[in-house]
Each structure stands twice: as structure tokens, then as C-alpha cells.
Amino acid sequence: MLRLGRREFGAHEPVIMAIVNRTPDSFYDQGATFRDEPALERVEQAVAEGAAIIDIGGVKAGPGAEVSAEEEARRTVGFVAEVRRRHPDVVISVDTWRHEVGEAVCEAGADLLNDAWGGVDPKLAEVAARYGAGLVCTHAGGVEPRTRPHRAAYEDVMADVLRVTVGLAERAVALGVPRESVLIDPGHDFGKNTRHSLEATRRLDEMVATGWPVLVSLSNKDFVGETLDRPVKERLLGTLATTAVSAWLGAQVYRVHEVAETKQVLDMVASIAGHRPPAVARRGLA
């Protein structure tokens, strides 16, 4: 059972996490949801299309202008409070590696801290424990936040992913984070080249076998673009193919830009796997 905020999700229940970037320079939408009004519209649309989690980020993942903790909090805290007011049952996640920001957004109503940089600030897990919030434990290859990998090398990339993510998850629980609210993430593109991310996807069932719920953040990433030689705006099909494979191998949570398309893929895979009945089943029965 995965428990986040007021929501509980069964073992075979796929969960969509919709991305809402509060940044002026995000790689995908170039700041389309930086202002409050379009960002709130994005939340409304994502919830209507089937997202159970809204993931709010105040700092671009890649290199760019310096963003202080104070500025990151300014971009996210008030927005978290407004989303909480409008959507009391939605799970609110905040994509941050800083404990100061984690503290402020938890005070404002966040349910989940999405630590995409692999525990670079060890105090973030302490914040999650103090507030009873969930935590995403990610493999980032030990790189500094907002830096790109350079000649990343692993003897066995999945062995390293398992060592890091399970270690972070066990530490979080030891600190007091609820066990049912901890997820692990292989960290596609983070501290990895394209071949590493493809191998991590291919071996995702090894993460699932640990018993920790697995979150994947695949949406329009560079490993998809390089694999198919497609620019950012032409990566949806590759993303959805990777989503289908990840679902078949047992991942549970999907951090995405395109909610409606992802939901159809996840529903179809769940039905093939026998976890979900068809929405309509008339063929051959008339």
C-alpha cells in the first residue's frame, strides 16, 4: 500500500504525477506555468485528466541562472497553499533538494518531497519525517544539483541504483518517514548517459523486486530524444513507449507532462496485465 497525503493506492494501481513548473526557463514549456494563473489552470486540467499527484518545482533541473532557496520558496510556497485550498484531496509534491524549502512547503500543505538529486541535502529526509510527509529517493549518480553528467561510468548501473535508492529509503524510514510513503526513483538522465537510462528501464523489475514503490520520471527526457534523435517537442511517442515498458515491469508512479495520453497507456497496460477490466466489453457478446 502506498499512502500519500489523504490518498491510498493499491499495489497494482498506477499513479500519475503531473508536472507544474514554477520556473521561467523550464526545458519543456519555457516558463508557460511560471505565473500563477496559467499554473493553476494547469493543475485544474491535470486533475481533470486523471492526475492524483501535482509535482511543483521552483528550480529548473538543468544548468541556468542561480536560484536561491529564498527565491525557490517564493515561487512554490504560496502556490502550494493555494493548490491545497482548491484541491484538499490531491497529493501535493514539491520537487526540491533543499531542506529549507522542504520545511516551508510542508508548512503550506505539501504531502511529498521529491528529492531528485539523491539526498545531497541529508536534512531533507529529516524534514519529511518531522511533518509525516512522503519522500522520493532518487539515484542521481552523486552529481551536484543542476549539473549535467560528464563521462558517467558504472560497473553495473542498476546495482548502483539499487544501492543508493534503497539506502536512502531505509535511512528515511529510520529517521521516521512513514514506510508506506517512501518511493524510489532510478533517476533517468540524472548522472547517466542515454545507455545507462535505457538499461535502467530494461532492468526496472529489479527495483520493483525490492518492495519499495517505484517512481519513474521519463517525460520528454534527453535519453528519449537521443534514442530516437528527436527534439523536445517530438518525444511524446518515445516517452509513452517507455512508459508502457515501465508499467509492464511494475513501476507505480509516473511523473509526466502529458497526463491524458499517459493515462490511456497505463490503463491499457493494466488491462493487459489483468489488473483493470475494460471500460467497455461488448464485442462478441451481442
Low-confidence spans in the chain with pLDDT less than 50? none
* Pairing status of strand 7-9 against strand 2-4: antiparallel
pTM over 0.85: yes
pLDDT value for 27? 78
Catalytically active residues are 221, 255
- Are 124 and 105 in contact by the 8 Å Cβ rule? The answer is no
Per-residue model confidence (pLDDT) at position 25: 84
With a CB cutoff of 8 Å and minimum separation 6, the contacts of 18 are 42, 43, 46, 47, 49, 51, 53, 54, 55, 256, 257, 259
HSE-CB for 62 with a 13 A CA cutoff = 9
Distance, in Å, from the CA atom of 40 to the CA atom of 80, rounded to the nearest integer, reads 10
- CA dist 161 and 156 (Å) reads 9
- Locate 213 and state its grid cell: 514503490
User: What SS3 class is residue 177?
Assistant: coil
Q: How many CB atoms lie within 10 A of CB 279?
A: 7
Beta strands in the chain (DSSP E): 2-4, 7-9, 15-21, 53-57, 91-95, 112-115, 134-138, 182-185, 215-217, 253-256
The pLDDT score that the predictor gives to residue 146 is 95
Closest by CA to 93, choosing from 187, 208, 217, is 217
pLDDT at 286: 75
Give the orientation angle of helix 36-49 with respect to helix 69-86, to 10 degrees. 50
